[in-house]
Amino acid sequence: MAWPVARATWVWNNSGARIRFVPSSRDDAQLVIDHFPHRRCVGHAQATLGFTRQARVWLPRIDESSQLCNSYTSAHAVAHELGHVLGLSHEARGCALMNPTGTWRGAKLCPPAENWEWRCGLLEEDDVRGAVALYGGRVATVGRNCPVYAAMTAPSRLAAESRPDEQRIGLRFIRPSLPTLPAFLAAAAPGEGGYAFAAEQDRCPTDFAAARKYRWSVRPVAEAQVFDRSPSQPGRYCYAVWAFDALGRPSGRPAWAWVHVSPPLG
């Protein structure tokens, strides 16, 4: 639990509230964090409410293949239970870390992070305001999202060719390798993702959401060949091609290629 505890204490220590969690020997500790006895992965944690002389937090053991007990969900659980130790109760009226339930993507009543992100900031404004009301200070930081894994690379060796006699554009590119997903995400990832492309006249597209999306028909590191209907207006066009993984996360940037479209034959 070293990393989840370190992350959870860091966000509280930098929240702006006048509180600070610091390491201590077990004999001198005002708060002891421990595993549930005789349990491994369970979908909850537990803490004493309020800062007492023998404050305790009990946590499930880490299981990186589990959506309930991976390190990211555990960091959320630790931060939540530390909120109880500080004297905060559950918040069921709006977005807060202190919502009764949550996952690595955030608390239940908060807008969820993307499938490939986690709520790395952990705290929401409501949580910090509650701590400030109890201990003083001011709201300094609130939650933000971070990617859980690195995005896949863009397709390589993209080439675009106009075929006026067929009234279409041919695109050739190399499918990138699959990204390495954490075990708890890989188990829930459907398929292998795909590619998306878009074209604009005189400028290169950058909006993945507006691109047309397709599933792969070739294996990783193999060449794909696809076709697009020629634009109705002649001119210079830029094609952008993204790869996206099984969770829908696009490559960090697209590949681009220019092509000149001639007037239709005849």
Contacts of 265 (CB under 8 A, 6+ apart): 164, 165
Per-residue model confidence (pLDDT) at position 4: 95
**Whether the predicted model's global pTM rises above the 0.75 cut:** yes
Per-residue model confidence (pLDDT) at position 189: 81
Per-residue model confidence (pLDDT) at position 266: 55
Per-residue model confidence (pLDDT) at position 42: 84
Per-residue model confidence (pLDDT) at position 57: 95
Biggest CA pair distance of the chain = 90
Domain boundaries, the chain: 2-147, 156-261
Contacts of 38 (CB under 8 A, 6+ apart): none
Q: Which tokens in the block code for residue 161? A: 């060719």
Q: How far apart are CA 245 and CA 181, in angstroms?
A: 10
Tell me the one-letter amino acid at 229.
R
Per-residue model confidence (pLDDT) at position 43: 81
Per-residue model confidence (pLDDT) at position 265: 59
Give, for all 266 residues of the chain, the pLDDT tens digit: 899 999 999 999 999 999 999 999 989 999 999 999 877 888 889 999 887 778 999 999 999 999 999 999 999 999 999 999 999 999 999 999 999 999 999 999 999 999 999 999 999 999 999 999 999 999 997 779 999 999 999 999 999 999 988 889 999 999 999 999 999 999 878 789 999 999 999 999 999 999 999 999 999 999 999 999 999 899 999 999 999 999 999 999 999 999 999 876 55
Q: Which CATH superfamily is domain 2-147 in?
A: Collagenase (Catalytic Domain) (3.40.390.10)
Contact 218, 194 (CB under 8 A): no
Q: Which tokens in the block code for residue 90? A: 């559950």
The CATH architecture to which 156-261 belongs is Sandwich (2.60)
DSSP characters for 199-240?
Answer: EEESS----GGGSEEEE--S-TTSEEEEEEEPPSS-EEEEEE
Distance between alpha carbon 114 and the CA centroid of its chain, in Å? Answer: 5
Per-residue model confidence (pLDDT) at position 156: 98
